[in-house]
Amino acid sequence: MTAGLQAQNWQDIYYTAQDGLRLYARYYPAPASRRRAVLCLPGLTRNSRDFHVLASFLCDPHNPQARDVIAVDYRGRGRSQWDPNPRNYTLEIEMRDVLDLLTIGGLADVAVIGTSRGGLIAMMMACVRPTALGCVALCDIGPVIEREGLVRLIAHVGRVPLPPTWEAAGELVHGISAKSFPAVPERDWHDIARQWFNDDHGLPTRGYDPRLSEALTLIDGPAPELWPQFQALAGMPTMAIRGELSDLLAESTVNEMRQRHPRLTTLTVRGQGHAPLLRDRSTLVAIDEFIARGDRIEARGPDKSRLIA
């Protein structure tokens, strides 16, 4: 399933971080719904556009389980302001920015879909403010991060060339990703390129601050394991989504997650690597059904006027 990024079915949200930075999020409303809202948290260099197809599916009025969706741009990504101090590109500060957005919107008990870095932020949120989360889907991330995949990700930050045209952008993204995503139709890569890059008067421009690389370091040996953070999700429905060809989340880690979490739902996205694109219909339906199973329909929905103020 694909959907053009040009279909404006969202509202733009701008809000101010505690340190004065101007941040952005997309709000996909489902006006008649009083179901649990969804919060989408992207990966390291990615942004709210990654979730357009999924968000459009979840808020669709023809979906009997339609619900509001909010997808964020971390500082320095997408349409959020670049931080003058790259040392502020940290999980802790990005989590604080996300929690501030929830506070501004009067939101709690949300369903969080966290891809890669977004899943790490979700686990941290469960430790810091557990009432913010009602259920969590971790997309290709877990308590053990494979060093090979981590090295590959960090090596690419700030080093992807800027294509001169959108046609070239589609070819670039396809060339970089096709080997790890053989199941993704070739026609989709031009839409995916518009997720990676911002649009500057009809031409692609960088979708994130290249100085993000200055905030990233590799440690000798394996990355620290995050089982205590994962255990913070034990009291809520949790889903582990893994790309079949992922080099960041091992199948053995998912098996151990299943043993440690009695309410864990798992999904393998065939023919995709890190991180699954959340565009194919079977994955969209699986996420929709997972959230619906964990629904607790509130007597009062979110104050939507606060979200778009």
Query: In the structure encoding, which two tokens stand for residue 26, read together?
Result: 């997309």
| Residue 95 identity (one-letter amino acid) | M
Say how far apart CA 187 and CA 87 lie, in whole Å: 38
Question: Nearest Cα to 59, choosing from 125, 13, 94, 111?
Answer: 111
| Environment class of 228 (CB within 10 Å of its CB; exposed 0-12, middle 13-18, buried 19+) | exposed
DSSP track, 170-202: HHHHHHHHGGG-TTS-GGGHHHHHHHHSEEETT
Please name the residue that has the structure tokens 């969804």: 38
pLDDT recorded at residue 143: 98
Pairing mode of beta strands 22-28, 69-73: antiparallel
Say how far apart CA 211 and CA 76 lie, in whole Å: 9
The CA–CA distances, whole Å, from 252 to 143, 225, 243, 249, 259 equal: 11, 14, 13, 8, 11
Block mean pLDDT (10 aa), the chain, length 309:
60 97 98 94 98 98 96 98 97 98 96 98 98 97 96 92 97 96 96 97 97 82 88 96 98 98 95 98 98 69 57
Question: Nearest Cα to 42, choosing from 94, 87, 96?
Answer: 94
Q: Give the contacts of 85 (CB within 8 A, at least 6 positions apart).
A: none
Say how far apart CA 37 and CA 47 lie, in whole Å: 19
Say how far apart CA 7 and CA 11 lie, in whole Å: 12
Is the Cβ–Cβ distance between 108 and 130 less than 8 Å? no
Q: Give the contacts of 246 (CB within 8 A, at least 6 positions apart).
A: 140, 149, 273, 274, 275
pTM: predicted TM-score of the whole model, two decimal places = 0.94
Say how far apart CA 239 and CA 266 lie, in whole Å: 6
Domains and CATH numbers, the chain: 11-155+225-307 (3.40.50.1820), 159-207 (no CATH)
